[in-house]
Amino acid sequence: MEPVIVIGAGLAGSEAAWQLARRGIPVELREMKPQKMSPAHHTEYFAELVCSNSLRSDQLENAVGLLKEELRRCGSLIMACADAHRVEAGGALAVDRNAFAAAITEKIRNHPNITVVEGEVTEIPAEGNVIFATGPLTSENLSQAIGGLFPDSKYLNFFDAAAPLVTFESVDMDSAWFASRYDRGTPDYINCPLSREEYEAFWQELTHAQEAEVHGFEDAGVFEGCMPVEVMARRGLDTLRYGPLKPVGLKDPKTGEEPYAVVQLRKDNAQGSIYNIVGFQTHLRWPEQKRVFSMIPALKNAEYIRYGVMHRNTFLDSPRLLDRYYRVKGQERLMFSGQITGVEGYVESTASGCLTAMELSRRLEGKPPINFPRETAMGAMALYVSDPSVVNFQPMNVNFGLIPQLGYRVKGKRNKNAEISKRALEKLAELDLG
C-alpha cells in the first residue's frame, strides 16, 4: 500500500498519522520543523501547544468535555498523552506542555508504520492520498499552493494571540491566593486581586499601550475566541471585569469579600514553576507588556519567560470546499484537518484529524464510512464545517448548539447537557470504530 502523506505534525496531523498507523496503514509524516519554524513555535516537538496549555473543561456537562471523551473512546493518542501529563487546573484538563509534546513525538517517531520526513512542503503532492494538517500557521509558500486549489473560492485568514508566561517564584503571593472559582475542585489558580483604583489605572494604561506592528491587523478582524486583552479593554471600562478579570466566585481570604477585579494565573507545567496569565492574549510590544502588566500588584516583579505574541491564522471557506469527511469536494484524495478547516481549539483540531484518518482508513480497506451522527460532538462539528448553508463561515469551538436537542425537557442546564452527552456516547457505542 502506498503511504498516506500527512503534512504537518501538530495536534491534527499527529492524531491523523497515529490513527492511520495503528490500523496498519503506512504514513509519511512531513513536518517543516526544526528546519523552518513558524513565528509562534519554539521547540522541535510535534503537537506543540503555541497558546494556552489548557484543553479546557473535562466535564461531560461541557461540549468540549464530551468531545474529549469521544476521542478517548476512539483511541486518541493526543488524549492519552494529555491524560498522562495533566497538571491540576480545577475542572479543566491542562497539561505540562513540554512533557505532553515530547511524549507524542516519541510515540510518533517510534511507530513502525510512520516515516517522518523533515522539511517544508511547498507544493501539492501530485499523487496519492494527502491530509493537510498544517494548521493556522501554514507557511506562506504552501498557503499559496493551497489557495491555487481553490481559485474561485475565498481563502481566508485572521489573527490570533498568545498569552505571556511568568515564573511562579516571581509572583508576589502576599498579594495573591490560590483558589478555584466558587471553590470548585482543587485550588489550582493563583488569583491576583485589583482594587477599583488599581483596576482603572491598569485599564487606562492598557488601552493606550503601544502595540507591536502586525501587517494588515485591525481590531475588527480579531477572532473573538482569542481576542487580545488590549482590544477587549478598548470596548469599555468594565469589559474585562465581565470577562477574564471577573471576580465572581472568588473571595479574598484577607477580606472575605470579592475584589473589584481578579487576574488569574494557571499552572503551565507539572512542576508548577511556570504560570499562564489567563485571558491575556496580547500583541503589545514586549516592553509594554512588562510595564503595563506590572501594574497588577501580584505581578509587580514578575519574571516573563515568554511574552505574548501575535500571529496569522489561516482557514478555508470549508462549507463550500469540504465534505463531512474533511475531503476536498471533487478531489477526494486531498483532505484537510485541524484549524485550517475552521474548527477552533486544540481538542477540535485533534478530533478533525482523528475523524479524517478513521474515514480514510475505512475507504482504503474497502469498508463503508462510519458517518459519525450529528448527535455526537465529532459528527456535529464535521457536519457544521461542511454545511453549505453556513454563509458567513467563521472558526468555531465545539458547542451544544451544534448538536440536536433532546426532544424532551430536562430541568437545569447542566442536567440537560449531561443527558445530551449520555446520548452522544450511546450513539458512539453503536458505531464500528475499527
pLDDT tens-digit series, residues 366-389 = 999 999 999 999 999 999 999 988
Mean pLDDT of 331-354: 96
The answer to which of 107-116, 162-171, 246-255, 267-276 has the lowest mean pLDDT is: 267-276
Fold of the domain built from segment(s) 4-159+313-429 = FAD/NAD(P)-binding domain (3.50.50)
| β strands within 74-231, DSSP E | 86-87, 92-95, 114-118, 130-132, 155-162, 165-167, 177-179, 189-194
Tell me the chain's radius of gyration from C-alpha atoms.
22
pLDDT band per the 50, 70, 90 thresholds, residue 138: confident
Average pLDDT, the chain: 92
416 residue type, one letter: K
Cell numbers found for residue 46: 510535534
Cis peptide before 187 (omega within 30 of 0): no
pLDDT (0 to 100) of residue 217: 43
Determine phi and psi for 398, rounding to 5 degrees: -65, 140
CATH 2.40.30 range(s) for the chain read: 164-307
CATH 3.50.50.60 range(s) for the chain read: 4-159+313-429
Feature table: binding site for FAD = 8-13
Determine phi and psi for 111, rounding to 5 degrees: -80, 130
Name the 3-class secondary structure at 80: helix
Mean pLDDT of 56-62: 93
pLDDT band per the 50, 70, 90 thresholds, residue 221: low
Unique residue bearing C-alpha cell 468531545:
67
The answer to which of 320-324, 354-358, 399-403 has the lowest mean pLDDT is: 399-403
Q: Can you tell me the distance from the alpha carbon of 49 to that of 380, in angstroms, rounded to the nearest whole number? A: 25
Name the 3-class secondary structure at 403: coil
Feature table: binding site = 8-13
Mean pLDDT of 177-201: 93
Task: Count CA atoms closer than 13 A to 178's CA, side-chain side.
Answer: 11
Mean pLDDT of 230-250: 95
Mean pLDDT of 125-148: 91
By percentage, how much of the chain surpasses pLDDT 90? Answer: 74
Write out the CATH class of domain 164-307. mainly beta
The answer to which of 43-47, 161-165, 287-291, 368-372 has the lowest mean pLDDT is: 161-165
pLDDT (0 to 100) of residue 222: 60
